[in-house]
């Protein structure tokens, strides 16, 4: 069987660090067998012709989870904005958020010109500003208003 990673694969992470990639159907069978067992059991994975003791299973992950796990092990971290950074360097994504907010505000103001804003337009601007402020407070860049 091919060991290519695909969306419908799962990884059994063992205590010794080994990884066993299985199909979704095999995962469902393992899940049922594990639920029915009263303790640790020896499972035979027929598609790999391999026996696995359930006591040695640390976790069973999806492809995306394994990708995240590997990045963390490599010294990266995921910031609040969903981007990966080297652990040694600080995240500056909040600055990108500030710049994005400034650009959006400028575009809105330019589209309005010198005419007065309608109540709906002002509400959109206020919502965008409040959302950006909450994101910045959440990231620790700004302190919340008291």
The pLDDT-based confidence of 140 (bands split at 50, 70, 90) is low
Tell me the two tokens of residue 110: 């330019």
| Mean pLDDT for all residues in the chain | 81
For residue 1, the model assigns a pLDDT of: 46
Residue range 128-134: mean pLDDT, rounded: 76
SS3 88: coil
Contact 44, 26 (CB under 8 A): no
C-alpha distance from residue 52 to each of 5, 30, 33, 41 (Å)? 20, 10, 12, 8
- Full-model pTM: 0.58
Q: Give the C-alpha separation, 116 to 122, whole Å.
A: 10
CB 34 within 8 A of CB 18: no
Please give the average per-residue pLDDT across 108-120, as a whole number: 73
- Evaluate whether 96 touches 135 at the Cβ level (below 8 Å): no
Question: Per this entry, what is the length of the chain?
Answer: 146
CB 48 within 8 A of CB 98: no
Question: What is the per-residue pLDDT across 38-59, written as a single tens digit (0 to 9) for each?
Answer: 888 898 888 888 999 988 999 9
Q: What is the largest CA-CA distance in the chain?
A: 75
Residue 144 banded pLDDT, cuts 50, 70, 90: low
30: how many CB neighbours lie within 10 A of its CB? Answer: 19
């Amino acid at each position: 069987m091919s060991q290519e990673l695909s969306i419908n694969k799962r990884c059994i992470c063992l205590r010794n660090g080994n990884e066993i990639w299985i199909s979704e159907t095999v995962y469902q069978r393992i899940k049922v067998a594990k639920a029915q067992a009263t303790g640790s059991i020896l499972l035979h994975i027929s598609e790999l012709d391999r026996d696995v003791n359930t006591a040695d299973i640390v976790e069973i992950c999806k492809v995306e989870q394994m990708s995240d796990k590997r990045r963390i092990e490599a010294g990266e971290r995921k910031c609040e904005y969903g981007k990966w950074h080297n652990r040694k360097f600080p995240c500056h994504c909040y600055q990108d958020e500030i710049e994005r907010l400034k650009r959006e505000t400028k575009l809105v103001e330019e589209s309005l010109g010198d005419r007065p804003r309608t109540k709906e337009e002002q509400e959109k601007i206020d919502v965008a500003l409040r959302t950006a402020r909450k994101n910045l407070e959440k990231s620790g860049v700004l302190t919340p208003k008291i």
